[in-house]
Amino acid sequence: MGKLDGRVAWVTGAGSGIGEAAALALAGEGARLVLTGRREAPLSDVAGRIRSVGGEAHVQPGDLMRAAIVEKIGAFIGERFRRLDILVNNAGANILERDWKRLTPARIDEVIGINLSAAFYCATVALPFMRAQKDGVLIHTASFAGRFVHPLSGAAYIAAKHGVVAMSHSINMEECVNGIRSTVVCPGEVATPILDKRPVPVSKEDRARMLQATDCGDLIRYVACLPPHVCINEVLITPTSNRGYVVVLARCG
């Protein structure tokens, strides 16, 4: 018996990285999964692995920057399950041209759209289910960049992830009376495909010292399994060997 038997979880950005790890971890606790991302093939692969061990997973691909697509997925959840217990708001991306000298309005819209607007859209779909149930948990993937400003991540990404942090806290302020909990997770460097969008390539050695997607997936599973009277508002999670700290130590030495 899993701690999430019978619960319905919607995971966005579920085709790789943290979303993939979270989906597999939640399925391991018995949750029924709805998997969303832009590309259907990786989602189908994750769904296949869940089904191969007796789990339930439904693939609902789509561009979450389009509100109509998000609402369509919400309609599927309503028709198929008539409930939603867990939203893992994980879809996100960054760009190579992230410094102010190269930012353009189109690229700003892209970063803000997938990291912040899409998170808002998904929350507006999830919350009515949870209000009706008087129960539910939303778990949002922000970033260390959602709490600390550093040129590495780029202005648009930093602004978007700060927005995700504020969004999550605002949900708790309004929805705590409805039994709804919102957790924002702020990871430091994680060895996921988003690193391929770094202007400076990241070595295999550095990736091995970073957080792994499964570390974050296990954290999301833990939050989702907490009893209804517990709300973890925010989590900062980093590698022990935090490269930002190491650079500072080297300068101090």
Q: Is 157 in the active site?
A: yes
Which phi and psi (to 5°) does residue 9 adopt?
-125, 130
What is residue 210's three-state secondary structure? coil
Catalytic residue among 121, 157, 222, 245: 157
CA distance 41 to 91: 16
Q: Which of 141, 139, 159 is nearest to 149 (CA)?
A: 159
- DSSP assignment of 127-194: HHHHHHHT-EEEEEE--GGGTS--TTT-HHHHHHHHHHHHHHHHHHHHHGGGTEEEEEEEES-B-SGG
Under 8 Å between Cβ of 141 and 236:
no
Residue in the structure block whose two tokens are 């700003």: 108
Query: Residue 79: which residues within 8 A CB-CB, separation 6 or more?
Result: none
Q: Give the residue numbers annotated as catalytic, written as ranges.
A: 157
